Chain A
């Protein structure tokens, strides 16, 4: 296997981009990454997208996006793993470069979610759950994570306020990210008094519906060095699956797929969680970040709520989690999220994260999750 480096990143402002189509959002973002890398060719492209079929009625993205990027006939694949489609696209691109199959690969993630009504978007996102045995009963994604929250609160005494603290922390970080959909702070009171979506989760516990894209250019590390590029190496990649239905899990307060994917990625990198200085994780709901910090080993089992309360995961804490603002403040264009996490970690490791820079960060991790943890993708990045 060859060492793989990320040599270019691209991300545009996220939000409700009513004047932009999926193909435009993708192409503008991909061009930023190509320009940042300073490459004159790409050999292949991999695009993560969860549900262009339901959101914009368009499939066959490989062809359309290669076309609108002006790159036909490069090989192009669309990758889907619900909300971890972007992370999985990164992993496929990594495998493609590491294997020697391609040299310069464009990895992108894109989702255009506001061309449908909120109800239709809720339905499209719901397809990441078991449609016949969860969706059939009127369950939504906030509903599934709410059930995880109730079980976690019951078993470990996690508090409603601790959930709110995740949103407050991530909005604090997001207020320093000009590309975030919601770059402003929120208070605990604002979270606790926001409208209920699925008890106990309120609207400010939920990541938003977002249009956006993110892109990364990968190449062999040796080639990056010859090109005199700053080398940010993908040192580890792990993926794992779990049952699609939440009810089938051994323990609904534990995200096994994240635990397993992280173990694989860290083993490949030859690192422990303590060796890393920043973490971009999948906070689709506040309870998700609490459970993910436990699965990653940042917090002990059952103590993820306490970790955020004690400031362990704040920007200046021992384990800064979601310096970008996370899905909560930055936005969650589902297929793009996993790639945007990589963009943030790469920017941080280059020292280009501005006001939200984690000082002296040399290694970082991304954790991207599909459904209620039916799939997880973890990557470890290192600056050379």
Chain B
């Protein structure tokens, strides 16, 4: 049955997007693959999406070598980057929008989504990653992101915000659109 599902192939990140270089995309794809491999998932597995969108995808990861595992041995950093990789692909599949702008925030990046022919953003993407979490932990993270996005409600212009929480244990993703 998994063959019938829409594909989310992490290798697609390696070709980049308007504001994501192939090198940056590859890093996100590798981090996500290490997270999935560490949780025992095969090269292709099901990603269950719930929230404002409901669908199950076929999530395809990269091969993971020992070198890759050693490269991404900081679990927190790998989970955060891996979640961004999955979320960017998921956002594109669900909304048709790609990453058209990044902005530095803390020691990471904020991601903004838009259409590839008009290089200005139309939506903001908020991502959160959990390596292995319970239903309650995912829900708590979702509430936290909702509160952050609620602050945006008043005005980011008329900007839509998507919050995507990625959990690698099952794996699953919860999407909120505001």
A and B: bona fide binding partners: no
Q: Which residues of A contact B (CB under 8 A)?
A: none
Q: Which residues of B contact A (CB under 8 A)?
A: none
